[in-house]
Structures are given as structure tokens and as C-alpha cells.
Structure 1
Amino acid sequence: MHINLTGKTALVTASTGGIGFAIAQGLAATGATVVINGRSDSSVQKALARIREALPQASLSGAVADLSNADGVDALIAALPAVDILVNNAGIYGLVDFFETDDACWENYWQTNVMSGVRLSRALVPAMVERGWGRVVFISSESGLNIPADMIHYGVTKTAQLSLSRGLAKRVAGSGVTVNSVLPGPTLSDGLAHMLDEERVRSGKTLEAVAAEFVMQHRPTSLIQRAATVEEVANMVVYVCSTQASATSGAALRVDGGVVDDIV
């Protein structure tokens, strides 16, 4: 299958590293013009340089904005060209016991993980509907279905993204704009690599081996019995953004390695 998104412009939020970066590079490889977003100019410039090194002909631009508050989202919207593809990837996570998550913690997660996507979709989707074509993807998580006891606050925001995605897909039904969620499972992102680095050094094992052990300890229902790569997650997102995926909307598409023990 050859995916060609030449002539389309994509915004991938929080795309200077990890899954977001892999998505941005994957979309750039299809010919799309990609807007790289991060919270600092240095991180954005480094990401742009990395993609240009891999894809010298890539059409790219950068936009610095902190999406954890309305002002940051407004600043990003003001700097954007017309956008055909919106990938709501911005998000934070962390292990915090429920009884230690205060209102400020809940608010920070809600604003970053949920409201950034609400605000960007509200601002950008109407023009997609007018043009008769668009793609919106929310990067949720298997934790939105399989709520982790050690980060309930995170799981709640990921469940909210599923509701938001499905509801927005209904709102724009028949318009040529599709809205979907992608649910990664344990993934070898920068964050997981950092978390496992001490064990990797102590054991002398490869990062992949340590990550596989982590998955089997904490997500024993995994069918692939390892962590996914960021590229494997990005492949699903790029497909959902393609013209070939025009009949897929309102879906929650899992790239969780089978962690969620469900046949639906």
C-alpha cells in the first residue's frame, strides 16, 4: 500500500520526541507538510534537523507552544497554516497514587491530555468540514480501557479522549472528515527508556530485553510479549490519516500488543 499525502498539511502536537516524533516523520515520508510542535525552540529545531537528515526533501515547519493551557493553544492556532490533519498527541503521564493526586495534579492532566485536543479540534475542524476532507486522530492509550491502579488520573484522561473522539466523529458525520483514536500499549518511547535505564545498566541487558521483562511483569496479558516501537504505533496513525482509511471513523484502534483482553 502506497500512502501519498502530498498537498496535505499535518499538525502533530508534542512531536519533538517519542511517538509524536515518529508520527511526524512517518507523515513527512508520505509527502505531507508537517508542523512540528514542542515547548521549546531548541527541541523543535532538533526535531526538524533529525527529520531533514532522514528525509532531505521533507516539507516541515516548527511551532513552539505549551499546550497545557488555553493561551498556549491560542498561540499555536494563530501561527498555523490551514491544517488538513490534526494528530492530538500532547500528553503527560506519571505514577502517582490516587490518594496523593490533589486538584492541581488532576487539573494539569485534564488541561494537557484532554483540553488541548478539545481546543485544537474546535478551532481547526470546521475548516476541514468546509473543505470536505480532514483527519483527526487522538493518541489515547490502552490505559483508557485498562485503568492502571497506580495512575488513575492518567487513565481517566485517556478514557475521556475516547469519548471525545467518538462524539466528534458523530458531529462531523458525512462531511469527509474522519475522527479516530489510536491506543498504544507499552511502547519504547523516550519516557519508558528513561524509566528502565537504571535496570538496563544494572543487568547489562539490552533495552529491548529489559522492556520485555517490564511488559510481562506489569502487562502480562500482552500477546506480543514485548514493548512496541514508536514506529509501529506511528504506522497505524499514518494509515488512519491516509485517503485509504476513508471508511474508518469513530474507531478506537489498538496498537497495544494485545494487552487489552477483549475480542471487540
Structure 2
Amino acid sequence: MDLQLNDKTALVTGSTEGIGFAIAKGLLKEGATVTINGRKQETVDSAIEKLKKDLPEAKVKGIVADFSKVDEVDALIQQLPEVDILVNNVGIYGEQPFETTDDDTWFHDFEVNVMSGVRLSRHYAPVMKKNNWGRIIFLSSESAVNIPDDMILYGVTKTAYLALSRGLAKHLRETNVTVNAILPGPTWSAGNLKSMSKLAKERGISVAEAGKEFVEEKRPSSIIGNFVDAEAVANLVVYTASPLSYATTGAALRADGGVIDSAF
């Protein structure tokens, strides 16, 4: 299927590894021109090298920006004033006991997980509207609906993305700009691979077995009962970014392996 992305430009935040990297690669495979992003020049350069090795004709460049710093967000926008597709993927997570997670941590994680998407969308949405075409995609999580008790802060930030995406879609009603949220479940991202490797070592089992045990213990409602590859999430994002998805907007689209125990 031709997803009609050959003439489109995209920015994927937090894309030097994991889901973001897979999304960037998926868009590049479809012929889009993609700007990737990371916090360090060396990681951005390394990611570009990997992408070009796999896809020699890839039209890819990178911009370094730490989304906890407003001046670096502003600098990114100055370097890239216009895109057709914005994928708000950057985010941080981890176990954070509620009683000991202080205000500074709450504010910091909101800066990265929520305000990054607010600031970029606030700039690019009017540009897309003027150009009469655009796609804004927020990477939320099944944790936005199934708030984990050991990552309440993370869940709250991902719930905020659901509200933001729905509201922005309504704000852009009757235009050719769509806005959607993607809800991954347990996914083999770089962070999860590291944590599952640690769990595997502690239990004396393989990483694959650790992943399955984690899902059984922490996400027992999962239908597939295991982690999914980052490419599985990326495939949904790439379709949502395409012109073919024009009828899908204001939606919360799930790639969660059936973790969310609802048909809606």
C-alpha cells in the first residue's frame, strides 16, 4: 500500500532509539523527509548513521534539543519552522513512589512529557492550518487509562496528552489537519529492554521470559500477554501520519496488546 508520504516532511521528537527511532524509520521507508531529535549530538549522529545504513536513500537530518529547556525548544523551532507531520514522542518514565516524588520532579516531567507537545503543537498547528494539511500525533500510553500505582506521575502526563489531542482536534475541526493520540502498551523500547535485562538477571531467566513475567504480573489484562516490538507501534503511527487516514481525528488509537480492558 502506498501511504502517499513521498512529499511530506516530519519531525519525530525523542527519536534516537526505541519507539521514536522506529517511527522515524517507518516514515523514511515511505519516502518522507524526517528530522529526528535527541538530547546529545553524538546520539543524534549515531541514529542518523544507523538509519542511512539501513535506508541509503533516506532523507533524514537531526536537531539536538532537551525538551525540559524552553530555549532549546525555541531553537529547534527556529531551525525547523515548518513540517507536515509532528510526532510528539519524547517522554520520560520510571518507577516513582508517590509519597517521595517531589514537586521538582513533577514539574520536570510535565515539561518533557506534556509541555513539549504543547509548545511544538502551538507553533506547528497554525502553519499546518495555513497550508491546509497536517498531522499531529501524540504518543500517550495505556497508562493514561490504566494508571499504574508505581508510576502515577507518568500516567497523569499521558492522560494529559489524551485531553490535549482531543481538544486540539476539535480546535482544528473542518480543516485537513488531524490530531490523534497513540496508546502503546508494554513495548520493547530501550528503557524497557534495560529494565527487563535487570529483572532477568535477578530471576535467572532470559530477557524474553522476564518480559512475559512482567506483563503477567503488572499488566494481567493484556490479551497478547507479552511485550510488542517498537515497529508494531510505529506501523500505526505511520498510517495515522498518512493522507489515507484523513477520517481519523480526535481519536485514542491503541497499540497496547489489549491491556486496556474495554472495546472502546
Judge same fold: TM > 0.5, yes or no: yes
Counterparts of 1:198 and 1:8, CA distance in 2: 40
Tell me the alpha carbon deviations over residues 132-178 of structure 1, each in whole angstroms, 9 at most, x when there is no partner: 11000000000000111111111110000000000000001111000
Counterparts of 2:63 and 2:97, CA distance in 1: 34
1:252 is matched with which residue?
252
Amino acid at match of 2:71: D
Counterparts of 1:101 and 1:251, CA distance in 2: 31
1:22 is matched with which residue?
22
**How big is the shift at 1:204?**
5.7
CA contact (8 A) 1:69 1:116 kept: no
Residues 1:225 and 2:225 are matched in the alignment = yes
**How big is the shift at 1:263?**
1.5
Structure 2's unaligned 5+ residue stretches are: none
Amino acid at match of 2:182: V
Counterparts of 2:38 and 2:79, CA distance in 1: 13
Amino acid at match of 1:74: D
Count of aligned pairs between the two proteins: 264
Residues 1:147 and 2:147 are matched in the alignment = yes
Counterparts of 1:81 and 1:159, CA distance in 2: 28
Provide the TM-score with structure 2 as the length reference: 0.97
Instruction: Provide the alpha-carbon RMSD of the alignment.
Output: 1.1
Provide the TM-score with structure 1 as the length reference: 0.97
Counterparts of 2:205 and 2:48, CA distance in 1: 32
Tell me the alpha carbon deviations over residues 19-59 of structure 1, each in whole angstroms, 9 at most, x when there is no partner: 00000000000000000100010000000001101100010
Counterparts of 2:139 and 2:75, CA distance in 1: 22
**How big is the shift at 1:217?**
1.1
1:8 is matched with which residue?
8
Q: Which runs of 4+ in 1 moved over 6 A?
A: none
Counterparts of 2:146 and 2:36, CA distance in 1: 30
Q: Mean alpha-carbon deviation: is it higher for 1-10 or for 12-21?
A: 1-10
Counterparts of 2:58 and 2:205, CA distance in 1: 36
Counterparts of 1:137 and 1:235, CA distance in 2: 13
Q: Secondary structure at the match of 1:96?
A: coil
Counterparts of 1:156 and 1:204, CA distance in 2: 34
Q: Secondary structure at the match of 1:211?
A: helix
2:193 is matched with which residue?
193
CA contact (8 A) 1:145 1:159 kept: yes
Q: Mean alpha-carbon deviation: is it higher for 180-189 or for 66-75?
A: 66-75
2:106 is matched with which residue?
106
**How big is the shift at 1:212?**
1.3
Counterparts of 1:222 and 1:78, CA distance in 2: 42
**How big is the shift at 1:203?**
5.3
Q: Secondary structure at the match of 1:63?
A: strand
